[in-house]
């Protein structure tokens, strides 16, 4: 088990327009992953199971500079322009100071005794 208390989490909620979810996911997933090229220590792109039109993007950084370099880069800005009309505006990235993060190794969960 691990516990950390540092860094910045950036969240972007992407409200996608009808009939655009699959194409948005196809186009944006590699762009979301490219955040690692800008110093992120992790990333995630989540898609709502209900309706499939709500996406949430997370990126973890040690500070906000890497996020700014990523979000305002020519590469990411160009893709956002390309998919303009797929999502509702405005997009408002929200920065959170990480207060705590934990995780458990899946092997530890499998070895844990069953609760009866």
| 83-107 pLDDT per residue, tens | 999 999 999 999 999 888 777 777 7
pLDDT given for residue 2 in this prediction:
47
Which one of 3-7, 66-70, 101-105 scores highest in mean pLDDT? Answer: 66-70
Domain containing 89 — which CATH number? 3.30.70.100
Q: Does the pLDDT value for residue 18 go beyond 80?
A: yes
Domain count, the chain: 1
- Please report whether residue 111 resides in a domain: no
Res 103: pLDDT: 74
Please state, in angstroms and rounded to a whole number, the distance separating the CA atoms of residues 103 and 37: 24
Model's pTM, two decimal places? 0.84
Instruction: Confirm whether 112 is domain-assigned.
Output: no
Q: Kindly tell me if the per-residue pLDDT of 108 is higher than 80.
A: no
Query: Which residues are registered as beta bridge partners of 45?
Result: 57
Exposure string over 65-95, b if 16+ CB within 10 A, otherwise e: ebbeebbeeeebeebeeebeebbeeeeeeee
Is residue 40 one of the residues assigned to a domain? yes
Q: What's the pLDDT band for 37 if we cut at 50, 70, 90?
A: very high
- Residue 31 has a CB neighbour count (10 Å cut-off) of 19
**Tens digit of each residue's pLDDT (9 = 90 or more) over 41-61:** 999 999 999 999 999 999 999
């Amino acid at each position: 088990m691990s516990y950390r208390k540092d860094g910045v989490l950036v969240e972007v909620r992407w409200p996608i327009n009808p009939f655009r979810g699959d194409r948005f996911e196809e186009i944006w997933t590699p762009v979301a992953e490219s955040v690692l090229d800008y110093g992120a220590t992790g990333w995630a792109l989540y898609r709502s199971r209900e309706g499939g039109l709500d996406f949430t993007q997370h990126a973890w950084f040690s500070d906000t500079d890497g996020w700014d370099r990523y979000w305002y880069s020519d590469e990411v800005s160009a893709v956002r322009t390309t998919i303009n009309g797929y999502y509702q505006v405005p997009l408002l990235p929200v920065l959170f100071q990480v207060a705590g993060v934990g995780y458990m190794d899946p092997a530890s969960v499998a070895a844990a005794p069953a609760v009866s």
